[in-house]
Amino acid sequence: MVAKRNSAPLVISMGDPAGIGPEVILKAVARLRARGDAVPLAVIGDLEVMRATAHRLGNVPSPTAWTPDVSLIPIRRGLGVFSPGETSAGLTSPGHPTIEGARAAYRYIVEGAKLALRGRACALVTGPINKQLLNRAGHRVPGHSELLARISHTQLWRMMFAGGDLRLALVTVHIGLARVARALTRARVFKTIALLALHLRTEMGISQPRIAVLGFNPHAGEGGLFGDEEIRVIKPAINQAVKCGVDAYGPLAPDTAFVRLHGRFDFDAAVAMYHDQGLIALKTLEFDRAVNITIGLPFVRTSPDHGTAYDIAGRGVANPSSMVAAIDYAWGAALRRGSRLRKAA
């Protein structure tokens, strides 16, 4: 990946200071540099935490103070870090999360989103946070996607996940399983299919994406025997998408939807009705390289598909592969989005 000289940086929010975010960021950047990639990168986080992590790891880029008004060219060999608000150094240590650290992680997300909204960042990659601590710190949000949608005043968005082979979007996200059936509507399923198709075309360069849509009930309802959501909601939504020019099909029986005939999937991406229906398959197949994407935002946002992993934080054993994949995906999507916007202008 080669960056244009005047391109805005790809910004990474550090995540919880006590988690593995700082470690996987530094390892990922080291891997990208070893690959010869020239993506302009910067971190929104705590400079002292990043420096302490780099000191423990060794053989990673040196974190350097940076502000969004300064060119990244002089710090290409290091890694620019912008520290908004009070420092979290001394308030937490690897594997020992605190409320103060959660508040700091919240600031990093907000600042990264603001930079992306102002065009000062070409994309935002978010490091892992602890949702429970975030709520205890007074920030009542289920996760990154909901927070970023609120900051950007985005009404229609969905969570998407991508690995090397499997891509999927979710109709419902962070709600209890008992509430899913009530949350499924024809409009909600249709909008998920349409938003996923738009993302695949404009930010992944797939001109005519083929989208598989899962059913909700066992055996996709078995003609209404095990439930009628497929008949009332899902099939009408698929038909509506097809009328709008989307190559969508289903509903598929969820237990066989991810079987790979001839070694590959028969679709470019899938739509799952609820969180675990899609993510059990994705994390089984793609755990080390899965990427979380929020589609529908006015800027590109991705994250590694893993949590804070406090149990291994500070030990130097965290795998950066998902962070590398998140950066790769965000950079490619940002380049395609930028090209599309320039052509439209």
Reported as a single tens digit per residue, the pLDDT across 96-111 is: 999 999 999 999 999 9
* 111 and 87 in a common domain: yes
Cα gap 338→332, rounded to integer Å? 10
pLDDT above 90 (res 4)? no
In a domain, 162, yes or no: no
180 and 247 both lie in a single domain: yes
Check whether residue 121 and residue 193 sit in a common domain.
no
Tell me whether residue 77 is in a domain: yes
pTM of the predicted protein model = 0.90
Whether residue 123 is predicted with pLDDT greater than 50 in this model: the reply is yes
Taking 60 as the threshold, does the pLDDT of residue 90 lie above it?
no
User: Are 2 and 102 members of one domain?
Assistant: yes
Residue 328 and residue 317 in contact, taking contact as beta carbons nearer than 8 Å: no
For residue 186, give the CATH number of its domain: 3.40.718.10
Are 141 and 173 part of one and the same domain? no
- Which strands make up the sheet holding 123-126, listed edge to edge? 63-65, 79-82, 41-44, 10-13, 123-126, 300-304, 291-295, 158-162, 167-170, 269-272, 210-214, 247-252
Which of 250-259, 312-321, 330-339 has the lowest average pLDDT? Answer: 330-339
In a shared domain, residues 268 and 301: no
- Tally of domains in the chain: 2
Region 147-156: what's the mean pLDDT?
96
184 in a structural domain: yes
Same structural domain for residues 114 and 241?
no
Same-domain status, 125 and 61? yes
Strands 291-295 and 247-252: unpaired
Domain boundary among 260, 287, 314: 287
Mean pLDDT of 39-43: 92
The pLDDT mean for the chain works out to 90
Predicted local confidence at residue 286, as pLDDT: 87
- Amino acid 74: pLDDT: 46
What does the pLDDT look like over 198-241, one tens digit per residue? 999 999 989 999 999 999 999 988 888 898 999 999 999 999 99
Q: Please give the residue range of the domain that contains residue 216.
A: 168-287
Q: Is residue 159 included in any domain, yes or no?
A: no
Shared-domain flag, residues 144 and 173: no
Whether 139 and 180 map to the same domain: the answer is no
Q: Is residue 44 included in any domain, yes or no?
A: yes
Report yes or no on 22 lying in a domain. Answer: yes
- Domain-ending residue, one of 287, 322, 337: 287
Q: Is residue 233 part of a domain?
A: yes
Residue pair 38/77 in contact (Cβ under 8 Å)? The answer is: no
Q: Is the pLDDT of residue 56 over 70?
A: yes
Higher pLDDT, 1 or 282: 282
d(CA 33, CA 197): 33
Q: Residues 269, 134: one domain? A: no
- Judge whether residue 76 has pLDDT over 60: no
Q: What is the mean pLDDT of residues 8-35?
A: 95
Q: Are residues 275 and 305 in the same domain?
A: no
| pLDDT for 85 beyond 80 | no
Q: What is the mean pLDDT of residues 315-340?
A: 91
